[in-house]
Amino acid sequence: MNLRIAAIALSTIMVAACGQRSVSPAAQQYETATVEKRPLVLTVEAAGVIEPVRTVEIKSKASGEILELGADTGDTVKRGALLVRIDPRTPRNRLDQAAAQLNAALARSTNARSQLDRGKKLLGNAWINQADYDKLVLDAATAESEVVTARIAVDNSRISLDDTEVRAPSDGTILYKKVERGQVISSPTMDVGGGTLLMTMADLSRVQARVRVDETDLGKIAPGMPAAITVASYPGRRFSGTIEKIEPQAVVEQNVTLFPVLISLENEERLLRPGMNVDVRFEVARRDDVLTVPVTALRTERDIDTSASITGLDPAAIRAKLGGAAGQGPGTQGGSARESAARFGGSFWVVVDRKGVLDAVPIVTGITDLDRVEVSDGLVEGESVLVLPSSSLVEAQERLQNFMRSRGGIPGMTQKPQETPGVQGQRAPR
């Protein structure tokens, strides 16, 4: 349709440029469109990538040589599953040493308590003085303190031994494996560099899509709104998600302001994987079985003169008929905030062909999908509306015609030089 209008405009320009009388606007052709009922859905589209909701980096609290790897990249593991086993000899030796020291401390504590009990009797019989008894009390307390210290050492040694077995903190999938069997690793508690990263894992039963939405569409979406997701890996299949969060900080790319939007998705089949590119569509407004016309059929006050010249209607009569009615434009019908944001702003009218009689009719519009627009008042089903070139297109056409007339022809085309009168075969002097 637009191509036809452009072709008509171009033919008009070519005729004028060749020195012939330009085609009058009334002679230009136009198309018609039927006012028909259909569903109207307004969507916002965005692109992004799949990413895990939560990613866990696995490190070992123990240092040493890796003796066993219990999982590889891509494996799905359960909570508590063995991931890495580290050489346990040093921690086990420390545990044995701590246990021996605990036994010695317990023996000293038992002896000190026995001496303290004997001292109480001797003090009661005045066989020892108070100073000797106080020393026995101190010895017993010191021995008990050594027992506590030894027990803590045993517990710490046992923890260190347990740390040689790195287990999965939760159910999930191994995304990356950074180490190999035989590799010597360092603990983050001992290494200022943060220790050796063993693996990265995430629970992929639920993922999120991070997409970037243009700031002009941001007011049309909100958390909790459903989203339809498609990926190139599964053509024809649509995944359902929900807007989880709209991040507050914008991102500017090529002078375009975008806002990151997080969409949560169930992924029980594990089909969606981190890094996959996704296309997301948000349905921000819907009308079922409503009257619609093509957006290209809408006219504004600026188009009155141009449309009148093409159709033969009287511009004054059009203005008189429209009056203040044209001001009943979209945005006056209420509805939700998202639907209001989806309305096609402005005051519009259309040219209606009623059994060969053209008439200018003001209309009330609703939402639009940028192809067709809802008409809530002014038209009935089955009527025909005219699709006319806009005033801006006609004005651009006229400017180009005037430019080419001033230049004497179409830019880029070489005109035949005129010959000097009376001197055949010679060109006019420059």
Range 2-40+287-407 has CATH code 2.40.420.20? yes
Q: What is the pLDDT of residue 322?
A: 82
Each residue's pLDDT tens digit, 236-272: 899 999 999 999 999 999 999 999 999 999 999 999 9
Strand order in the sheet with 165-167: 165-167, 82-86, 64-69, 184-185
Give the pLDDT of residue 18: 34
Helix or strand run (H / E) with residue 47:
strand 36-52
Alpha-carbon distance 409 to 19, whole Å? 8
pLDDT at 320: 87
Residue 52, C-beta contacts closer than 8 angstroms, at least 6 positions apart: 175, 202, 203, 204, 207, 208, 274
Which segments in the chain show pLDDT lower than 70?
A: 1-29, 191-193, 324-346, 391-430
- 365: helix, strand or coil: strand
pLDDT at 176: 93
pTM of the prediction? 0.64
Q: Which helix (H) or strand (E) holds 115?
A: helix 89-124
41's CB contacts (< 8 A; 6+ apart) are 283, 285, 286, 287, 369
Within the chain, which residue ranges are assigned CATH 2.40.30.170? Answer: 46-53+205-286
Contacting residues for 44 by C-beta, under 8 A, at least 6 apart: 213, 217, 220, 221, 281, 282, 284
pLDDT of residue 138: 94
Q: What angle do CA 338, 365, 216 make, to 5 degrees?
A: 40
pLDDT at 415: 44
Q: Determine the Cα–Cα distance for residues 235 and 237; give it in Å rounded to an integer.
A: 6
Residue 362: what pLDDT?
Answer: 92
Angstrom distance (rounded) from CA 323 to CA 311: 20
Residues of the chain with CATH 2.40.50.100: 55-202
CATH 2.40.30.170, domain 46-53+205-286, yes or no: yes
Q: What is the pLDDT of residue 9?
A: 40
Name the fold adopted by 55-202. Answer: OB fold (Dihydrolipoamide Acetyltransferase, E2P) (2.40.50)
Q: Specify the pLDDT at position 345.
A: 52
